[in-house]
Structure 1
Amino acid sequence: MSFSINQLEEARRALDAPLYADVAGDIAVSFEFFPPKTEKMEATLWDSVATLSPLGPRFVSVTYGAGGSTRERTHATVARIARETDIPAAAHLTCVEATREEIDQVAQEYWAAGVRHIVALRGDPPVAGARYQAHPGGYENAAALVAGLKRLHPFEISVSAYPECHPDSANAAADLDNLKRKLDAGASRAITQFFHQPDTFFRYRDQVAAAGIDAEIVPGIMPVTNFAAVKRMSAMCGTAVPDWMERLFAGLEDHAEARQLVAATLAAELCRKLYAGGVKTFHFYTLNRAELSFAICHMLGVRAKAAAQAEAA
């Protein structure tokens, strides 16, 4: 990986500065939520939206369950964000177990609800561990879904990217070819799967550039609050878990608040190193919990927009 002079200066300043106190805050953030299943979870979600919205995110996205299992809840959540907040709302949409007509209908409903941004994904099989099979009458993959959405309306579209290669891709070159097809079909940017070390992203960024792809690649950040759960998720999506992370979380199983503090520290350190390497956009997988993402953004210099404007005045 090659650093520019500015990046070397930023790295030097990061070492000299009092930890996070003087980070410029010149970054753009976005947040991901999942549709709530219960009234209690719904209250938690809306508390999280209220906490994070003053940070002025570029958008917030809401996930879509396997096989459209959360279709109505996803739509209701996205539509309410679009209706009741000033935050641009993005809806996840997948190809799994639905015809093109059914998917197009969902997209039309989003457009009618004022949603202009779709996160277009192939999606995972509804049965964990099963091999993905395209629906006979559906979109065969994410690139086809992007093209189909663009035929309907001028949606802004984000797609996924895999720094450590999608488990279903034959190799890294094939994975990059698939990313290029999705972007060529009309997607604006790619958001990565979560990863645990900054060099993972930097190597991928270099590979993307070498493949002739110049679209925005946004790192997806997953604060690790439950090591066992993240280890399972990492195994499913081919994400390497460093040995030091297991050692760090050992003995914290019965100390939830301590895990939160460790999680915030780790994620903030990852973001700080990415920032030192020139990264200025971040997408946080919040798991519907605001405080971790809010704390990390605060350490990166992001402040509530109203407060920042008042200080400037």
Structure 2
Amino acid sequence: MTQSLLNRLNDIETLLNSVKSELQNQTKPNNTNNKVPFSFEFFPTKTDEAQDKLLTTFDTLNALNPQYFSVTYGAGGSTRERTLGIVEALSKQSDTPIAPHMSCIGDTKAEIGELLDFYKSLGVTRVVALRGDLPSGQVGYGELPYALDLVKFIRQHSGEHFTIKVAAYPEMHPQARNFDADIDNLVAKYHAGANEAITQFFYNADSYLFLRDKLAKKGVHQDQFPIIAGIMPITNASNIIRFADGCGADIPRYIRKQLADFGDDRKAIRQFGFEVVHTLCQRLIREGVPALHFYSMNSTEPNKELVKALGLTS
């Protein structure tokens, strides 16, 4: 074999190794070391004792270095005072950002404007803008009937002060006309000034990926408008089924069947639920999810265990 031929073979081998290396890099997850950002959601407590317990839970979860905490808001502001109290307490307890939910149903523009000013005075820079549910007995949706209207009003009232998060539904909003209409509404909220979306909880990763890809086809990509995956741990069979049936989220048949088979075996349900959610999050991380938002149910576990098992802590 001539030296010239040997040189050519060496060149070809070098080229093949380079191509192999490039292909390997392209197939690696977008989030290196699995360090995707994560956050937690709290709901307002009903008693001072429960709020004290929540503050302790906050300290434990906050030690994991989440990106922020969100705090929910009841229908028509039914938990308004509790929400304001918790947001204020958490804002004073730590530098970790707090993102209060805001619903527009039942509140006037003046009331929402006052609320925005109050949050601004606390140093809050993130809000979750939602339509909310119509309180029992109330007729009419008020001055701002939809989340899209609320997003527009926040921008009109407060300029660019707030990072606005909105809701997204991988399995379609239960009141949407169809999936395309639901996607178009989400795109409209983005163009109105929303910065990112947090999804309703789901257990089928493909539904999240379908939503992401449908948005991309409409010109709205993750780098412009991150779609944060909402994650609901499974610890109680009846509760998770009730939540899902109430908000239109789908629980795959195999999960429902397994939960039913476990009956009252809480330990088995928690172990199975942990495996389901852990596997779901791993798949989402491999697919390049920009962030995970855990619906904590005001509990330390299994949220802390999940975050650690996923390798999200520093």
Question: TM-score of the superposition, structure 1-length normalised?
Answer: 0.85
Q: 1:184 to 1:280 in 2, by over 3 A?
A: closer
Match of 1:199 among 174, 195, 206: 206
Q: Name the structure 2 match of 1:18.
A: none
Alignment deviations for residues 242-271 of structure 1 (CA, whole Å, 9 cap, x no partner) = 111022212444333333222222111110
Q: Name the structure 2 match of 1:148.
A: 153
Deviation (angstroms), 1:132: 8.8
Distance in 1 between the 2:24 and 2:245 partners? 37
Q: Name the structure 2 match of 1:15.
A: none
Structure 1, 257-266 or 286-295: larger mean CA deviation: 257-266
Distance in 2 between the 1:194 and 1:30 partners? 14
Corresponding residue SS for 1:202: helix
Corresponding residue SS for 1:24: helix
Match of 2:186 among 157, 167, 179: 179
Deviation (angstroms), 1:9: 4.4
1:257 aligns with 2:262: no
Q: 1:5 to 1:235 in 2, by over 3 A?
A: farther
Distance in 1 between the 2:48 and 2:277 partners? 29
Greater C-alpha Rg: 2
Distance in 2 between the 1:132 and 1:189 partners? 31
Q: 1:162 to 1:6 in 2, by over 3 A?
A: farther
Match of 1:235 among 228, 245, 248: 245
Match of 1:107 among 116, 121, 145: 116
Corresponding residue SS for 1:55: coil
In structure 2, stretches of 5+ residues that fail to align are 1-22
Distance in 2 between the 1:150 and 1:124 partners? 22
Corresponding residue SS for 1:291: coil
Count the aligned residue pairs: 286
Q: Name the structure 2 match of 1:221.
A: 231
Q: 1:251 to 1:115 in 2, by over 3 A?
A: same
- The answer to whether the Cα contact below 8 Å between 1:163 and 1:201 also exists between their aligned partners in 2 is yes
Q: 1:109 to 1:274 in 2, by over 3 A?
A: same
Q: 1:243 to 1:7 in 2, by over 3 A?
A: farther
Q: 1:5 to 1:213 in 2, by over 3 A?
A: farther
1:245 aligns with 2:252: no
Q: 1:68 to 1:187 in 2, by over 3 A?
A: same
RMSD over aligned CA atoms reads 2.1
